[in-house]
């Protein structure tokens, strides 16, 4: 089996985890690391101990273009700030490179559609870094749902509560509308992806409200949305960047025959004699630190998709729907009206 050559683009906080994850996948090796600043790319290479070609330029697009032309590069991992993702994904597709792309994949509907269309046209493989899909609690919940542990889900809640402050390396760009975009596009998208992944039905309507506590952000960093699903289920999603507490990713799924609350299960079908919630020991999505995120599982899955020539369950086509929901939430906040999906 020939090696997959990987290029990691954008050398900041998350990129080192991408490098380490790719290096841990058999028959994959990181052959290039690129960024705006050469020193940043070299720092990630040194920290991960990878002997990769370095691509950097004061005009970052030039370095990216050169990197895409590197014949040893089969796959690109896009780790730059939010507002750069869509166009970098489009260029990767046009260069015929498979790509892993950090969330959000786009920060407005126009570029979201352009990215989806470019991937469709180029027929490259993609994975979007909704990395929690490889978290052990997520895998446990999916396995329970596949065994009909709680029956038909009629109500669901997922919250992304991540107190972000100036400790964050991306603080400057994440607080701005032009680069961070919104609370749902930046972080709440993880909650949208999770609720879609668990409920297994498209969201057809959202009604959302937002608020702010301080003045750090150009957009309201706390948002709550009520949602309706095509299946008839209803739900609630929220994102808060101003919460003063440890990182929390709450998952509540209420079904016709049982309930899942994080790692707690109440199941009339699997455990008919049960009198209280059973707690499942597992790795929880309880840290915002990128070193805790299961990137290895994500990259191993994606390498397998490329080798087998099959689509990831977490590709750009699927993430399109998650991002459409985030954009609908932002529109609902802006207009004070419910917004129907898919967006016109
Ligand atoms: N999936 C997850 O759970 C997860 C977790 C964390 C972050 N993320 C996402 O990953 C992305 C990166 O986040 P981060 O936390 O790593 O941010 P970060 O620490 O700010 O890193 C971004 C890097 O991109 C480089 N950069 C900035 N502008 C650039 C440009 N015009 N062209 C090329 N490179 C440029 C910068 O490197 P220079 O030093 O070279 O300027 C910067 O270090 C974000 O979209 C974020 O939402 C996802």
Ligand 1 centroid vs 82 CA: distance in angstroms? 8
Ligand 1 centroid vs 219 CA: distance in angstroms? 19
Ligand 1 centroid vs 108 CA: distance in angstroms? 18
The strands making up 4-9's β-sheet, listed across from edge to edge, are 53-56, 28-35, 4-9, 75-78, 98-101, 126-128
Of the CATH numbers 3.40.50.300, 3.40.50.720, 3.90.110.10, 3.30.565.10, which one belongs to the domain with range 4-131+295-313? 3.40.50.720
Ligand 1 centroid vs 101 CA: distance in angstroms? 11
Q: Report, in angstroms and rounded to the nearest whole number, the Rg of the chain calculated over CA atoms.
A: 20
Give residue-wise pLDDT tens across range 208-256. 999 999 999 999 999 999 999 999 999 999 999 999 999 999 999 999 9
Give residue-wise pLDDT tens across range 53-101. 999 999 999 999 999 999 999 999 999 999 999 999 999 999 999 999 9
Prediction pTM value: 0.98
User: Rounded distance, CA 210 to CA 167, Å?
Assistant: 24
User: Rounded distance, CA 61 to CA 63, Å?
Assistant: 5
| Whole-number average pLDDT of the chain | 98
**Closest approach atom of ligand 1 to CA 173:** 20
The full set of domain ranges for the chain reads 4-131+295-313, 132-287+322-340
Q: What's the mean pLDDT in 263-273?
A: 97
Could you please report the per-residue DSSP string of 155-223?
A: EEEEEEE----TTSTTHHHHTSTTTT--HIIIIIHHHHHHHHHHH-S-EEEEEEEEE-SSSS-SS-SEE
Residue nearest to atom 7 of ligand 1 (CA): 14
User: Rounded distance, CA 89 to CA 19, Å?
Assistant: 18
Our mutation pick for probing the ligand 1 site, out of 36, 77, 81, counting the most ligand atoms within 8 A of Cβ, is: 81
Examine the pLDDT at 1 and tell me if it is beyond 70. no
**Closest approach atom of ligand 1 to CA 82:** 45
**Closest approach atom of ligand 1 to CA 129:** 1
DSSP state of 281: P
Ligand 1 centroid vs 337 CA: distance in angstroms? 33
Examine the pLDDT at 6 and tell me if it is beyond 90. yes
Contact assessment for residue 208 and residue 333, using Cβ atoms and an 8 Å cutoff = yes
Ligand 1 centroid vs 102 CA: distance in angstroms? 9
The ligand 1 site (C-beta within 6 Å) comprises 10-15, 35-37, 40, 60, 79-82, 84, 102-103, 129, 131, 169-170, 290, 293
The strand pairing partners of 239, in sequence order, are 160, 223
Domain 132-287+322-340 has CATH 3.40.50.920: no
């Amino acid at each position: 089996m020939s090696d997959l050559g990987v290029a990691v683009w954008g050398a900041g906080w998350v990129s080192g985890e991408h490098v380490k994850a790719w290096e841990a996948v058999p028959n994959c090796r990181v052959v290039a690391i690129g960024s705006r600043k050469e020193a940043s790319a070299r720092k990630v290479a040194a920290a991960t101990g990878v002997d990769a070609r370095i691509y950097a330029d004061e005009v970052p697009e030039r370095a990216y273009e050169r990197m895409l032309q590197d014949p040893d590069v089969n796959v690109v991992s896009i780790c730059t700030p939010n507002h750069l993702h869509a166009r970098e994904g489009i260029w990767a597709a046009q260069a015929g490179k498979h790509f892993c792309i950090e969330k959000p994949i786009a920060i407005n509907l126009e570029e979201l559609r352009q990215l989806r269309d470019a991937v469709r046209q180029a027929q490259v493989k993609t994975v979007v870094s909704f990395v929690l899909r490889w978290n052990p609690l997520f895998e446990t919940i999916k396995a329970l749902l596949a065994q009909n542990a709680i029956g038909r889900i009629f109500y669901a809640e997922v919250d992304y509560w991540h107190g972000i402050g100036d400790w964050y390396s991306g603080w400057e760009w994440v607080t701005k509308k032009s680069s961070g975009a919104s609370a749902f596009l930046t972080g709440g998208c993880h909650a949208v992806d999770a609720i879609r992944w668990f409920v297994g039905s498209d969201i057809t309507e959202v009604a959302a409200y937002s608020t702010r506590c301080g003045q750090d952000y150009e957009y309201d960093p706390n948002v709550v949305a009520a949602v309706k699903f095509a299946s008839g289920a209803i739900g609630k999603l929220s994102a808060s960047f101003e919460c003063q507490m440890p990182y929390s990713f709450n998952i509540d799924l209420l079904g016709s025959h049982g309930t899942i609350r994080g790692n707690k299960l109440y199941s009339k079908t699997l455990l008919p004699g049960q009198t209280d919630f059973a707690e499942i020991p597992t790795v929880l999505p309880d840290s915002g630190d990128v070193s805790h995120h299961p990137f290895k599982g994500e990259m191993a899955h994606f390498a397998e998709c490329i080798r087998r020539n099959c689509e990831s369950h977490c590709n750009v086509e699927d993430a399109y729907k998650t991002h459409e929901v985030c954009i609908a939430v932002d529109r609902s906040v802006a207009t004070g009206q419910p917004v129907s999906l898919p967006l016109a």
